[in-house]
C-alpha cells in the first residue's frame, strides 16, 4: 500500500519541543494546513485517530520515540511559540 501522506506536497506537519508533563515527556504534533493532513501523517507514524485531541488547536500528543519518527518522515521541528503562531494562520 502506498502511503497517502507521502503523495502529498511538502509537509506542513509541525512538532514542538519535548516537555516534561505530570504523565511523562510529551510534545505536540499539528498541521498548519488541515486536520485531514494531520490525520494522514498520524497514520504514517502509527497513531490512532482515537488519540486525536480536538478543540481550538487540534493536535496529537507524541512521546519522544514517535516524535523522532515524525521528524524522520518530514515533520518540521519548531518551538512552541512558532507552533502556535503557524496554527493561528491556518
Tell the burial category of 8 from Cβ atoms under 10 Å away from its Cβ (0-12, 13-18, 19+): middle
What's 29's domain CATH number?
3.30.780
- Say how many C-beta atoms besides its own lie within 10 A of residue 5's C-beta: 19
**What's the CA angle centered on 42, arms 38 and 45, to 5 degrees?**
145
Is residue 39 in a domain?
yes
Domain region containing 53: 11-89
The per-residue pLDDT for 84 is: 86
Is residue 1 in a domain?
no
Q: What is the pLDDT along the chain (90 residues), one digit of tens a residue?
A: 445 545 444 558 999 999 998 999 999 999 988 999 999 999 999 999 999 999 888 999 999 999 999 999 999 999 999 988 887 776
The per-residue pLDDT for 90 is: 64
The three three-digit cell numbers of residue 80, written as one number: 512552541
Who contacts 17 (Cβ-Cβ below 8 Å, separation ≥6)? Answer: 27, 77, 79, 80
Is residue 53 in a domain?
yes
The per-residue pLDDT for 15 is: 97
Q: Could you tell me the pTM of the whole model?
A: 0.82
The per-residue pLDDT for 89 is: 74
- Say how many C-beta atoms besides its own lie within 10 A of residue 87's C-beta: 17
Is residue 3 in a domain?
no
Number of independent structural domains in the chain = 1
- Say how many C-beta atoms besides its own lie within 10 A of residue 21's C-beta: 10
Is residue 68 in a domain?
yes
Amino acid at each position: 500500500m502506498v502511503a497517502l501522506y507521502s503523495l502529498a506536497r511538502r509537509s506542513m506537519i509541525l512538532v514542538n519541543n519535548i516537555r516534561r508533563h505530570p504523565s511523562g515527556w510529551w510534545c505536540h504534533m499539528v498541521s498548519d494546513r488541515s486536520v485531514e493532513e494531520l490525520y494522514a501523517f498520524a497514520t504514517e507514524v502509527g497513531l490512532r485517530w482515537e488519540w486525536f485531541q480536538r478543540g481550538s488547536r487540534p493536535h496529537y500528543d507524541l512521546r519522544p520515540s514517535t516524535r523522532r519518527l515524525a521528524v524522520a518522515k518530514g515533520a518540521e521541528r519548531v518551538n512552541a511559540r512558532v507552533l502556535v503562531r503557524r496554527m493561528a494562520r491556518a
